[in-house]
Structure 1
Amino acid sequence: MLRLDADHVLRLVQPGDGAALARAYTANRDHLAAWEPVRSDEFYTAAWQEQQVDQCVADADSGRGYRFVILSDDGEIRGRMNLNNVVRGAFRSADVGYWVDASRLRRGLGGHGVSALVRFAERDLSLHRLQAATLLDNTASQRVLTRAGFTVIGMAPQYLHIAGEWRDHRLFQRILA
């Protein structure tokens, strides 16, 4: 568990997080809609989220991905930080993804969380490179990434299907060791 600030910690997703994740996603449904794929109503249920928790745990056990939750001191999930698509061998790379609860924006949680992911990727996973992508108009996430040492490496047309459309994304990377 990593302390992000006086009120929040970062920890790996663990069995039993499904109900809390369902509450967090439901509370942030409108906030996240512009930045994520279209979600079915089932996505917001504790049962569906617990199935995803099982996949997160299996991915961490196999080294394929590491999904974290941002926990507030009241025990509620206030966001996610993810290292996805971990590749070993000559590439030693992963993709970074994250979101922060709408009620916790502009408190530095995104920056603290991304910095913690960078330290974890370098220290614990011995990765060489991290990549992240943002929508072209997501300047807040672009600032978070830039402050965490990521640099722009290009633009990917129609990169991800977000909010029902194929959207262009700005690509970032950070070289670690």
Structure 2
Amino acid sequence: MENDRLAIRPILTEPLFLAIPNERENWMTGQLRKLMDSVRPNAEKTPLALKTAEDVPFILLKEGYGFRRIVLDLCAEEGFQPKVTFKTSSIETAQSLVEHGMGVTVVPRMVMRQGSDRIVYVPLQSDPSRTLVFAYPETCYLSRAARAFMETAKKNQTSMYEEV
């Protein structure tokens, strides 16, 4: 986020994962099928190049969402434009579409469906992440609650994903 009038405080940085259906689908490339044969939903997974999803149906958030831009930039860095077959305003809907075999998507760790046996989350080779920030006008008064939130988030940032 770039805005000279805003103060930016990082709250949380989290990794991104490729979400793929746990069942083989006709649209899957050979590399994805091979991956499906070698992993279980909760198993440790070998990082995959995002480019593996170049020729498969891709589910993205609609235009105007910052996370959509992150995913498109990641794809561009890998040298491809995703074949977008569905657009949604909800990352939860995107994951439901993945679970039903409609394509793949990229999700941040915070919204991964823990314990789902219908979706597989695969780490990406480029080790991408997103950072959530607290942005506010520098000249604006910050309430005690806002300051406490930022302080708590700062303390929890390092330990949030240690257990996962």
On whether the aligned pair clears a TM of 0.5, the verdict is: no
Structure with higher strand content: 1
Please state which band the TM-score falls in when normalised by the shorter chain: under 0.3
TM-score by length of 1: 0.26
Structure with higher helix content: 1
**Structure with greater Cα Rg:** 2
Between the two structures, name the one with larger relative contact order (CA 8 Å, sep ≥ 6): 2
